[in-house]
Amino acid sequence: MSSGDITKIKRHPERAHSEKETLLDILNNGFACQVAFQVDGQPFIIPMTYYNNSEYIYIHGSPVARISDTLRNKTPVAISVLELNGLVLAKGLADNSMNYRSAIVFGKPEEVVGDEEKLSFFIEWIERLVPGRKENTELPNKDELRGVSVFRVKLEQFSVKIRTGGPSEVKRNPEIWSGVVPFSIKLSNPEFASGTQIPDYVKRFIDIRNGEKK
């Protein structure tokens, strides 16, 4: 199968987006991905956290995990990030849908083995996850760095699909209500905290993600 076949959107091609800027916007807004791979013909899919810059998407895990052994052999993977934005309730039962932005990255993973690049990954990852946290955490030593496997996949082959707008009104019964119910992630105050005073950078992160500050 060619790379064009892998990335081509066949169902609703009008929802496809080929711009890398759109891919990066989806990745930059997400927290978790699904990593799909195959071992001896058996498919697997693993939920993981990730970090990305403009060139790569990075994931990490235990060196002895099955996924690490597989990725170390440069087995091709598909990494999916999905952002759900609304429940689309149409008049017809078969026409109900979701509003979403989805991105799938295809490629062969490369293992990051240098301590400097691995440390840089962890610092950039936590700073993307919670801005301000990198100055308020203990950095790993060399043994701890070597106790985690880090892999990266180039952002070259990807597929982006976006659905927006209202329901498809194939059924037109005026007595049946239709519409879109928007939803988003809402962050709450921390739990199981080590102290009663929540750091300002954590408060700011919660407010920004909840749309209460810019």
- Do 127 and 201 fall into the same domain? no
Distance CA 157, CA 103 (A): 11
Q: Write out pLDDT tens, residues 104-125.
A: 999 999 999 989 999 999 999 9
Residue 180 in domain = no
Question: Is the pLDDT score of 3 beyond 80?
Answer: no
- Do 75 and 22 fall into the same domain? yes
Question: Is the pLDDT score of 85 beyond 80?
Answer: yes
- Do 87 and 163 fall into the same domain? yes
- Do 102 and 208 fall into the same domain? no
What total number of domains does the chain contain? 2
Strands 42-49 and 179-182, sheet pairing:
unpaired
- Do 159 and 198 fall into the same domain? no
Q: What is the pTM of this model?
A: 0.89
Residue 24 in domain = yes
Residue 161 lies in domain: 3-167
Residue 174 in domain = no
- Do 161 and 206 fall into the same domain? no
- Do 214 and 124 fall into the same domain? no
- Do 60 and 139 fall into the same domain? yes
- Do 106 and 199 fall into the same domain? no
- Do 163 and 128 fall into the same domain? yes
End-to-end Cα separation, the chain, in angstroms: 44
The better pLDDT of the pair 37, 211 is held by: 37
- Do 205 and 129 fall into the same domain? no
Tell me what the mean pLDDT of segment 66-85 comes to: 95
Provide the CATH number for the domain around residue 88. 2.30.110.10
Question: What pLDDT band is residue 1 in, cutting at 50, 70 and 90?
Answer: very low
Residue 175 in domain = no
- Do 205 and 145 fall into the same domain? no
Using alpha carbons, list the distances in angstroms from residue 57 to 168, 203, 210.
35, 27, 25
Residue 17 in domain = yes
Sign of CA dihedral 110, 111, 117, 119: positive
